Amino acid sequence: MGNGFLIQAMVYLSAAIICVPVAKKLGMGSVLGYLIAGIVVGPFLLGFIGEEGEDIMHFAEFGVVMMLFLIGLELEPKKLWKIRKLILGTGLSQVLVTTFAVFAISLVLGMNWQASLAIGMSLAMSSTAIVLQSMKEKNLMQSSAGRSSFAILLFQDIAVIPILAILPLLAIHTINADAAVSHSILDGLPGWLQTLALLGAITSIIVAGRFGISPLLRIVAKSRIRELFTASALLIVTGIAFLMGMVGLSPALGTFLAGVILANSEFRHELESDIEPFKGLLLGLFFMAVGASINFQLIAEKPFVIATLTLGIILLKASIIFTIGRFSKLSHDQNMIMSISLSQVGEFAFVTISFIGQLDILNREDTELMMAVTAMSMSITPVLILLNEKYVLPHLGTKKIDERPADAIDEKNKIIIAGFSHFGSTLGRFLRANGVNATILDHDSDRVDLLRKMGFKVFYGDATRVDLLESAGAREANILISAIDSHETNLVLVETIQKHFPNLQLMVRTKNRFDAYELMNKEVKHIYREHLESSVRMGVDVLKKLGFRSYTVQRAAQHFIGYDEAAMQELHKLWHDTNLYISAARKQIEIQEELLNNDFAQKPSFNDHAWDSDEMKRVFAGK
């Protein structure tokens, strides 16, 4: 490990540490921060790093692979199956229409058809890294824009396979082709064997994911050596990426597949938390490399051409996606978010364009030009997203803040509800039925519109953002209710509130006791497990059907809930002390066991002696 490596690492890390917080502070998002950091340290500004930018980019693309693995982890096979039409419909039409449009324009501009088609296919791709990272950061993944964008990106990843297969066929000078295409060990093999190998690779991922990985992880988890687990997680990702690369498939697609298969596994959360930091760093590195690779010299030479091309492509891609969005009935603002987000040329173009160059489909000058345009379009995207959010969306569809004239109710809105899906809406309706009008924060624009029509005071956006909380009146309010479904968002929200609005009392919905423990670690006092009351109520009805008297069961239920809440405080200590690394699943079973033992020892339902004259009879009989 030479000094050079250390210096480079230092340069990248410090650039990131300086630029990203500043960018976030200015509301620009981390992607733009990384890009700017890359430009600053790159060869054209400070020159700390030189031409190795592209190598680093290839290395850092592994971040994208990891990201898709993580996305796969969050997507169970069932959910993936549900969105198959979306993937096929919007994805296919986006790739085909964009390819064709760019192809046609290139022909008109005087290129031969081979080059036009190659460029068309390259430019149809968008940047998975930039889009998903930006959307995750803004909590848009669950919105309709997020889902459609994801579907398109996923299809693009699949489309990479045939595109890489088609490109060599376009080569004008077949002599060069062999050298360039040798990216796969299968090339020498006959076609049927190649297909078989591809299927074999995919099958082995599915089989390994199903039957191999979980037992392996269980063994590793038992060793209780934390870094071993991290190592296994990395091994899974690198192994699959390698396997996919070997048969010439997209590594990102392979790890995505593995992620989906492991989404049901008990190790999902561990894998997530282990890969997450690597993914974050590599993606950051990737964005910085993109920033550093922008050829400002070329831009300075041909500013007009590059600007026109970049803006033209962005406009073209955005309008095609917008049209597709219209067909899939996205509302205007969601559609705008999607179109702008996907409007850039993706990182995949770096690969295809250099490949095209090697194949001599495109001359050197044009290749350089396309590279510059790609990098520019990627760098501009975060800016466009920002502009769209600040200046376009407020005039379109759902506004962040309702601009109705403030009325008297405003001053009494001492309560803020974050999240207005099933849980929040029931709660909000109950409060309103009792004359308490809470301020609502929600990030589903369709729901926000409906609520505003119904006269609710609603703020649209991500509830964890300080500025949104501020404008919703978090300074003056007394209570903030989090009815948010996602535990992770809840944790972020709790931290934000505790840091910026310590005046607010927090009341937090939570899914289960394990999430509750984490909230208790953060010293949240009012925690509501969403299932507790209804499951006990169901138990009450069961006992009634079995012939128990209603009031007896009612009292038993009251005791049980009281006892369970007390037990939660007790077991929290146990959870807290379990600092050792063991899998969440095992931890949960331990706690479950402890609970059942407690039930047995304390018999919360059987020590109710109210209206019980047995003891009296016994005492008087004994006399």
Partner 1 sequence: MRKILVLFAHPRFEHSVVNNAMVVMEKQLSFITFQDLYESYPDFNIDVKREQELLLAHDVIIWQHPFYWYSCPPLLKQWIDLVLEFNWAYGPNGDALKEKYILNVVTTGGAREAYQTDGRNRFTINQMLAPFDQTATLCKMVYLPPFAVQGTHRLQPNELAIKVEEYKALLNFLSIETSPLKTLLHLEIINDHFIQPK
Minimum distance from residue 80 beta carbon to partner 1 (Å): 45
Minimum distance from residue 415 beta carbon to partner 1 (Å): 20
Query: Could you say which DSSP state residue 331 is in?
Result: -
Minimum distance from residue 558 beta carbon to partner 1 (Å): 4
The count of C-alpha atoms lying within 13 angstroms of the C-alpha of 549, restricted to the half-sphere facing its C-beta, is 3
Q: 3-state class of 418 per DSSP?
A: strand
Q: Pick from 200, 212, 455, 562: which binds partner 1 (CB under 8 A)?
A: 562
Minimum distance from residue 615 beta carbon to partner 1 (Å): 6
The count of residues in the chain is 623
Tokens of 479: 């209570």
Helix, strand, coil distribution of the chain in percent, nearest 5: 70, 5, 25
416 forms bridges with which residues in the sheet?
439, 480
What whole-number distance in Å separates Cα of residue 9 and Cα of residue 283?
Answer: 14
Residue type (1 letter), 504 = L
Residue type (1 letter), 55 = D
Binding string, residues 492-531; x marks residues near partner 1 by CB under 8 A: ----------------------------------------
The smaller minimum CB distance to partner 1, of residues 181 and 507, is found at 507
The smaller minimum CB distance to partner 1, of residues 499 and 618, is found at 618
Q: Does residue 577 interact with partner 1 by CB under 8 A?
A: no
Q: Does residue 610 interact with partner 1 by CB under 8 A?
A: yes
- Which helix (H) or strand (E) segment is 479 a member of? strand 479-482
What whole-number distance in Å separates Cα of residue 463 and Cα of residue 490?
Answer: 9
Q: Residue 451, class by beta-carbon neighbours within 10 Å (0-12 exposed, 13-18 middle, 19+ buried)?
A: buried
Q: Torsion-angle region of residue 142: left (phi > 0), alpha (psi -120 to 50) or beta? A: alpha
Q: 3-state class of 441 per DSSP?
A: strand
What whole-number distance in Å separates Cα of residue 441 and Cα of residue 438?
Answer: 10
Rg (CA), the chain: 29
Q: Does residue 619 interact with partner 1 by CB under 8 A?
A: yes
Q: Where do we find the tokens 């950051």? A: 284
CA distances from 397 to 203, 336, 449, 583 (A): 45, 10, 8, 45
Contact region for partner 1 (CB under 8 A) — 11-19, 85-93, 445-453, 605-613? 605-613
The smaller minimum CB distance to partner 1, of residues 404 and 549, is found at 549
Q: Does residue 621 interact with partner 1 by CB under 8 A?
A: no
Tokens of 406: 């403030």
Minimum distance from residue 412 beta carbon to partner 1 (Å): 18
- Which helix (H) or strand (E) segment is 439 a member of? strand 439-442
The smaller minimum CB distance to partner 1, of residues 600 and 611, is found at 611
Minimum distance from residue 616 beta carbon to partner 1 (Å): 5
Q: Pick from 5, 304, 600, 611: which binds partner 1 (CB under 8 A)?
A: 611
The smaller minimum CB distance to partner 1, of residues 27 and 562, is found at 562
State the angle between helix axes of 30-41 and 128-137 in degrees (0 to 180), rounded to the nearest 10: 130
Minimum distance from residue 620 beta carbon to partner 1 (Å): 9
Q: Pick from 555, 572, 586, 587: which binds partner 1 (CB under 8 A)?
A: 555
What whole-number distance in Å separates Cα of residue 58 and Cα of residue 62?
Answer: 7
Contact region for partner 1 (CB under 8 A) — 70-78, 249-257, 539-547, 608-616? 608-616
Q: Pick from 25, 408, 615, 621: which binds partner 1 (CB under 8 A)?
A: 615
- Which helix (H) or strand (E) segment is 158 a member of? helix 144-170
Tokens of 418: 């974050």
| Rounded (5°) CA angle 216-217-221 | 125
What whole-number distance in Å separates Cα of residue 118 and Cα of residue 354?
Answer: 11
Contact region for partner 1 (CB under 8 A) — 122-130, 327-335, 377-385, 610-618? 610-618
Minimum distance from residue 438 beta carbon to partner 1 (Å): 21
Minimum distance from residue 551 beta carbon to partner 1 (Å): 9
Contact region for partner 1 (CB under 8 A) — 11-19, 422-430, 517-525, 613-621? 613-621
Minimum distance from residue 549 beta carbon to partner 1 (Å): 15
The smaller minimum CB distance to partner 1, of residues 5 and 620, is found at 620
Q: Pick from 522, 559, 572, 587: which binds partner 1 (CB under 8 A)?
A: 559
The smaller minimum CB distance to partner 1, of residues 454 and 619, is found at 619
Q: 3-state class of 529 per DSSP?
A: strand
Q: Does residue 606 interact with partner 1 by CB under 8 A?
A: no
State the angle between helix axes of 62-73 and 251-262 in degrees (0 to 180), rounded to the nearest 10: 20
Alpha carbon of residue 45 to chain centroid: 33
Minimum distance from residue 568 beta carbon to partner 1 (Å): 18
The smaller minimum CB distance to partner 1, of residues 408 and 616, is found at 616
Contact region for partner 1 (CB under 8 A) — 135-143, 527-535, 557-565, 583-591? 557-565
Q: How many residues bind partner 1 (CB under 8 A)?
A: 11
The smaller minimum CB distance to partner 1, of residues 51 and 615, is found at 615
The smaller minimum CB distance to partner 1, of residues 580 and 610, is found at 610
Q: Pick from 112, 558, 602, 605: which binds partner 1 (CB under 8 A)?
A: 558
Catalog residues that contact partner 1 under the rule CB under 8 A: 555, 558-559, 562, 610-611, 613, 615-616, 619, 623
